[in-house]
Amino acid sequence: MSIRIGIYGYGNLGRGVENAIRQNSDMELVAVFTRRDPNSIKINTAGASVFHADELPKMTDKIDVLILCGGSAKDLPIQTPEMAKLYNVVDSFDTHAKIPQHFDNVDKAAKVGNKVAVISVGWDPGMFSVNRMYAETILPDGESYTFWGKGVSQGHSDAIRKIEGVLDAKQYTIPVEKALEKVRNGENPKLSTREKHTRECFVVAEDGADKERIEREIKTMPDYFADYDTTVHFITKEELIRDHSGIPHGGFVIRSGKTGENLENNHIIEYSLKLDSNPEFTSSVIVAYARAAYRMNKNGDSGCKTVFDIAPALLSPKTNEELRKNLL
């Protein structure tokens, strides 16, 4: 029998999850839940339904895992604890600073419901976190580095769009190659914010807008751009659509550490991602952890989990025998 999946929220991430389910033959999409008018939503999966979110409490016997595809700022802090009382859930909560509090809220709810709730799944937090942890544990004497990009930062693009005279914009975060090289050489450099990443902005301005002012406002924007070397390109709406419609991302987690009687030997562990579609890759990770949530709950487990708490084998559709034979 397939693992029956529900999706709550049908934006980029929800659509990515829908596609990822199709790539996993042991899963099926049962329903998409939305706060919009269900009739306004057209999904891609024959046989699956679209319901208003109000129907969620009534579907608990039809769905094994509910995947929460809302945003970290406003949706998930409410939805994940609420839903963890009713369903095994997976979310991609990514506000790093608020993870401990989110964990506690979700843990309480999931234990009330006897469900498994996996939070903060994706690539960062997610696969990058797992790799930071493995690497730091294996090489206790060393330094860890995370670089992001080249990729689109939604938050930074939004920040540019709010500037007067800007019609649309895309911002790319780019790791500094020289910094990456120093890290890979085992030099364990201390790197400032400016030394790690640059920011490149493609901006569509209103006709007659003061481009110099826009560029200045971008480059001096606190938190978002002021601490970085930022490049601004003004392009046309058509160029933006033609050349910058994708949502690529990725990055690098690197640990450089020493071993030996006198710590004379150096080792570099590097994990990197090069993603054509940030939301689709995130979705693919989420779907694998949905399988794990289902299995853990079936084995009697409950409460909130993160990628740290879940044995790798629980993610795979393969049996333990197959994994040992073919992948070990």
Binding residues vs a second copy (CB under 8 A)? 16, 19-20, 23-24, 44, 96, 99-100, 103, 120, 125, 127, 129-134, 136-141, 184, 259-261, 265-277, 280-281, 283-285, 288, 306-313, 315-317, 320-321, 323-325, 327-328
CB atoms within 10 A of CB 265: 10
In 40-151, which residue ranges form alpha helices assigned H by DSSP?
76-84, 99-113, 127-138
| Short-list 248, 268, 246, 249, CA closest to 257 | 268
SS3 content of the chain, % helix, strand, coil (to 5): 40, 30, 35
Measured CA to CA, the distance from residue 214 to residue 217 in angstroms comes to: 5
Residue 18 vs 217, nearer CB to a second copy: 18
Kind and range of the H or E element at 22? helix 12-22
Q: Closest distance between a second copy and the C-beta of residue 101, in Å? A: 10
Ramachandran angles phi, psi of 285, nearest 5°: -65, -45
Q: Closest distance between a second copy and the C-beta of residue 80, in Å? A: 15
How far is Cα of residue 271 from the mean position of the Cα atoms in its chain? 16
Residue 38 vs 279, nearer CB to a second copy: 279
Q: Closest distance between a second copy and the C-beta of residue 42, in Å? A: 13
Q: Closest distance between a second copy and the C-beta of residue 284, in Å? A: 5
Q: Closest distance between a second copy and the C-beta of residue 25, in Å? A: 9
Residue 56 vs 106, nearer CB to a second copy: 106
Residue 9 vs 159, nearer CB to a second copy: 9
Bridging pattern class, strands 88-90 and 65-68? parallel
Residue 223 vs 321, nearer CB to a second copy: 321
